[in-house]
Amino acid sequence: MSRQEPTVRGPEISIDADWDRQYVGGEWRRVEERERIEVENPATREHITEVPAASVEDVDDAYEAATAAQVDWAETPPQERARIVRRVGELMEKHEAAIREILAVEGGSTVPKQDIEFGGTVTLVYDTAQFPFRVSGRHADSKVPGKENMVRREPAGVVGVITPWNVPLKLAMRAAGPAIAVGNGVVLKPPAETPISGGLLLARLFELAGLPDGVLNVVPGHGSTAGDRVAAHPDSDVIAFTGSTQAGRLVGENAIDHFAFPALELGGNNAHVVLEDADLDTAVDAGVFGSFWNQGQVCISINRHLVHESIYDEYVERLAERAADLTVGDPRDEDSIVGPIINESQRDQIMTFIEETAEQGATIETGGENDGLFVEPTVLSGVENSMSAACNEHFGPVAPVIPFSSDEEAVELANGTAYGLAGSVHSADRGRARDVGDQIDVGMMHINDQPIHVEPHMPFGGVKDSGVGRYNGDWIIDELTTTKWTSVQREERGYPF
């Protein structure tokens, strides 16, 4: 039976609550003199709330609180740390309707997106609750007589977490949750667009679960101020960042400057390869989901469809028909599949990529227009790898389709990008699909599926410009802990002098 929730004075778990706060040292601080960041519903442009933009001094306060709290937290018995993390999962299930509404109203998440983000986060939290018992070391003999060697894992210390707006709850929890579970303090800088679901909601959940004050601190703010200070703070031991490759380079430089470990999950330009013997129904089903889930606003979405020339026309026709049938609308409407783009700048960039690609010779088979922040699901044919919507991470509901004539050309096209995050290959011959997939330089490859696939016990991350390190399971435990070697000389040892 779960313990009774402690009485705290934080906001209710509701989109209508007063979220105009920072959470530092266990206190919900309004900080009246700070600039306010307005949070809007991207579907309606209605005002939701505003939050204080953290200053450098606010971030410093958060690190001071995390550093002070971490020492006792690291010594807290693993069963207690596990209980608190598990309680967060229980609270999420209890408040599911309210959390889904926050995802819809603040982040533009349609029901299919809510299903995966909410459900995936709960699963992740329950898996993370096992981490306190999975941090293990080893024992080994020594080359020196009478000596034994012991290696143990210890919490890294304080983990700075900087997360994006596209899957805010899941991407914040996958870093903050494990960091807390293995005994670290955390300073979380959520995205300015989604500070509730990407940060303040986590603070409230962990507070209700009984996490000691100061272990988790949440400082909403701008990347150029709060984000830079989080990454560059001398008291940070790990910086967990998810975002663009351009921003990730700066975060990595700031982290390395004070020898913090940079765990960077960055951009992608993921290829969905369809060989000539593929089951077209399956490949198109996967292609529709992989391109248009969350309006394509996800690093592991399909950025390019690479289709064998013998089935190219039929694939394009089917994909365009399916895209045209997708319902575009307010995420609070259960029938909506494609919701709004998060803001005007992202919308404008997507539309520019579409327009430039058409000017470069591609054909818009369906879509290509927008109504406010709603961009129509768009399929482009006659695309080449060098065209704007193909060579860039478009991060929108756009499906450029590129033909190829051989497996070798498909591999060359798939690898013709600086990114190496995820990919998928379809073929009736699974061995052949594996052979092709093995030659594509990515951190995650999915056979007869699509790349939007995450499991909490499987390593998540990429190669090349897609980042450094891996999230989930034992991989994230390794990155959030340090290795300490202790040798014990149990017998008298002779020395040469």
Q: Are 404 and 308 in contact (CB under 8 A)?
A: yes
Mean pLDDT, the chain, rounded, equals 96
Q: What is the pLDDT of residues 340-358, one digit of tens each?
A: 999 999 999 999 999 999 9
pLDDT of residue 389: 98
Q: Residue 4 above 80 pLDDT?
A: no
pLDDT of residue 352: 98
Cα separation of 72 and 62, whole Å? 16
Q: Which domains does the chain have, with CATH numbers?
A: 22-266+466-484 (3.40.605.10), 270-447 (3.40.309.10)
Of the pLDDT bands very low, low, confident and very high (cuts 50, 70, 90), residue 10 is confident
pLDDT of residue 2: 39
Cα separation of 269 and 420, whole Å? 7
- What whole-number percentage of the chain has pLDDT above 90? 98
Burial class (CB in 10 A: 0-12, 13-18, 19+), 3: exposed
At position 412, the amino acid (one-letter code) is: E
Report the alpha-carbon angle 201-204-207, nearest 5: 150
Q: At what angle do helices 78-94 and 96-107 cross, to 10 degrees?
A: 70
pLDDT of residue 440: 98
Q: Residue 3 above 50 pLDDT?
A: no
Q: Which of 44, 496, 62, 21 is nearest to 236 (CA)?
A: 62
Q: Residue 6 above 60 pLDDT?
A: no
Q: Residue 390 above 50 pLDDT?
A: yes
Mean pLDDT of 438-453: 98
Q: What is the pLDDT of residues 195-228, one digit of tens each?
A: 999 999 999 999 999 999 999 999 999 999 999 9
Residues carrying an active site annotation: 265, 299
pLDDT of residue 1: 32
- What whole-number percentage of the chain has pLDDT above 70? 98
Q: Residue 5 above 70 pLDDT?
A: no
From residue 311, give the alpha-carbon distance in Å to each of 26, 201, 319, 341, 437.
59, 47, 12, 32, 20
Q: What is the pLDDT of residues 67-118, one digit of tens each?
A: 999 999 999 999 999 999 999 999 999 999 999 999 999 999 999 999 999 9
Q: How many other CB atoms are found less than 10 A from the CB of residue 349? A: 16
SS (H, E, C) the chain: CCCCCCCCCCCCCCCCCCCCCEEECCEEECCCCCCEEEEECCCCCCEEEEEECCCHHHHHHHHHHHHHHHHHHHCCCHHHHHHHHHHHHHHHHHCHHHHHHHHHHHHCCCHHHHHHHHHHHHHHHHHHCCHHHCCCCEEEECCCCCEEEEEEEEECCEEEEECCCCCHHHHHHHHHHHHHHCCCEEEEECCCCCCHHHHHHHHHHHHHHCCCCCCEEECCCCHHHHHHHHHHCCCCCEEEEECCHHHHHHHHHHHHHCCCEEEEECCCCEEEEECCCCCHHHHHHHHHHHHHHHHHCCCCCEEEEEEECCCHHHHHHHHHHHHHHCCECCCCCCCCCECCCCCHHHHHHHHHHHHHHHHCCCEEEECCCEECCEECCEEEECCCCCCHHHHCCCCCCEEEEEEECCHHHHHHHHCCCCEECEEEEECCCHHHHHHHHHCCCCCEEEECCCCCCCCCCCCECCEECCEECCECHHHHHHHCEEEEEEEEECCCCCCCC
At position 241, the amino acid (one-letter code) is: F
Mean pLDDT of 186-203: 98
Q: Residue 435 above 90 pLDDT?
A: yes
